[in-house]
Amino acid sequence: MTKTLKSLLAAVACAVALPNAAAAESATIQAIKDRGTLLCSGHNGSYFGFVEVNDKNEWKGLDIDLCRAMTTAILGDPNKAQIVPLSWAQRFPALQSGDVDIIIKATGWTMGRDTELGLQFSLPYFFGGAQLMAHADLGVTQATELEGGTVCVEAGTTIERIVADYMKTIDVEHTMVSYEKAAELRAAYLANRCDAFAAWGPFLAVLRATEIDNPDKHVILSDQLSSEPIAAAMRQGDEDFVDLTNWMIAALLIAEEHGITMANVDEVAANPPNPTVARLLGSTPGIGERLGLRDTWAREMIAAVGNFGEIYHRNLGENSPYKLERGLNNLWSHGGLLYAPMLD
């Protein structure tokens, strides 16, 4: 009897231990490979430049391209990305419950999210801060002049908190009104229901440039309320997956630094100009093994979506309707804040 029990226990222990041992490198990556798709966050609607839907009912945008890049790195095919539509409020619970593998959704890296919510963030891939836009006829140029005014914000984002904190710091009495949807917020602002419109700087610039009939009637105030590092968020406790995300972003930046594009990646790989590029594109083996991937993952990824600059220009910059300057979101060598770790 005891013998049977013991062997039964041993079998159970084995059954429990074995999958763990096999998945020791990264449970998430293993799950993605088994499933054959990477589950990324989409949006319940669209968020200009980052998450949109094109005329063919396909997702596009900066965040979507990063998800495709990641999918190519892991599974070798950008079309194996599965985009799950999520609202802002739903994104973190959805990550915890396993509805998505990763959140790449214009998400700021905050202490609360990093600690209390049990998330882990990648390298920042974008910097954008909260700013205020006001009707030009109010004659306002900075936030201190908004005394007694009404500020509208999108509900459930970090902006709400940032504006409240900032206005408290500069001691400006104001009324805050929250809206769930960007379009509502926009309509409320245009209907003069709010004096100022608090949002993410790039979003305001896009809005002012493309959506508002006369851009000169609106001023973006000089105050930089915050500079939020935007990063991919993952579940705590899977360092190898975080490493992979970091190196996915790093590879896109290194590729831009060395002028490797979607068009020339195969040429460059065949004839690498320097050792870093040779390592990046797998011409010198090693980059794959360290992450548990193929040696050509970065090369395939760049062939599929391009380098970081190409992704930026396609979705936000000169090749998009928004024509947003790179500003802080340029490589460090061009006066921006984007910095890749060393590829040794």
Partner 1 sequence: MTDIAAVVSAPPKPSLLEVLRSRAFATKTDSLLTVVFLALILYLVYLALDWALFGAVWGADSADLCPQAEGACWSVVAARHRLILFGLYPYELHWRSTLACVSIVATVILSCLPYFWTARRLSALWIVGFAAYYLLMEGSPIGLEQVTTDQWGGLSLTLFLFASVVLLGMPMGLGLALARRSKLPVISLGVSILIDFIRSLPLLTTLFTAAVVVPILLPDWLHGDKIWRVIVAFALFFACYQAEVFRGGFQAIHKGQFEAGMALGLSAWRIMDKIVLPQVFRHALPGTINMVVVTFKETAIVIIIGFFDILASANAAFGTGEWAPYFLEVYAFVGLIYWVFIFSLSQYGEYLKRRMTVAAR
Q: Which of 31, 80, 99, 138 binds partner 1 (CB under 8 A)?
A: 99
Both structure tokens of 120: 């882990």
Q: Is 160 in the site for partner 1 (CB under 8 A)?
A: no
Would you give the binding string for partner 1 spanning residues 6-45, x where CB under 8 A is met?
------------------------------------xxxx
Q: Is 217 in the site for partner 1 (CB under 8 A)?
A: no
Helices marked H in the chain: 2-22, 27-35, 62-75, 91-96, 111-115, 158-169, 182-190, 201-206, 239-257, 265-270, 275-280, 287-291, 297-305, 308-315
Distance CA 1, CA 7 (A): 10
Nearer to partner 1, 90 or 276 (CB): 90
Nearer to partner 1, 35 or 168 (CB): 35
180-202: b (≥16 Cβ within 10 Å) or e: eebeebbebbbeeebbbbbbbbb
With beta carbons less than 8 A apart as the criterion, state whether 26 and 244 touch: yes
With beta carbons less than 8 A apart as the criterion, state whether 31 and 72 touch: no
Q: Is 85 in the site for partner 1 (CB under 8 A)?
A: yes
Nearer to partner 1, 206 or 248 (CB): 206
Pairing of strands 218-220, 196-200: unpaired
CA neighbor of 276 nearest in space, from 342, 329, 226: 342
Q: Is 312 in the site for partner 1 (CB under 8 A)?
A: no
Both structure tokens of 305: 């979506």
Q: Is 181 in the site for partner 1 (CB under 8 A)?
A: yes
Q: Is 178 in the site for partner 1 (CB under 8 A)?
A: no
Please report how close the Cβ of residue 68 comes to partner 1 at its closest, in angstroms: 15
Q: How many chain residues touch partner 1 (CB under 8 A)?
A: 42
Nearer to partner 1, 157 or 320 (CB): 320
Q: Is 300 in the site for partner 1 (CB under 8 A)?
A: no
Nearer to partner 1, 307 or 320 (CB): 320
Binding site for partner 1 (CB under 8 A): 42-49, 52-59, 82-87, 89-90, 93-94, 96-99, 180-181, 183, 187, 206-207, 210-211, 213, 320-322
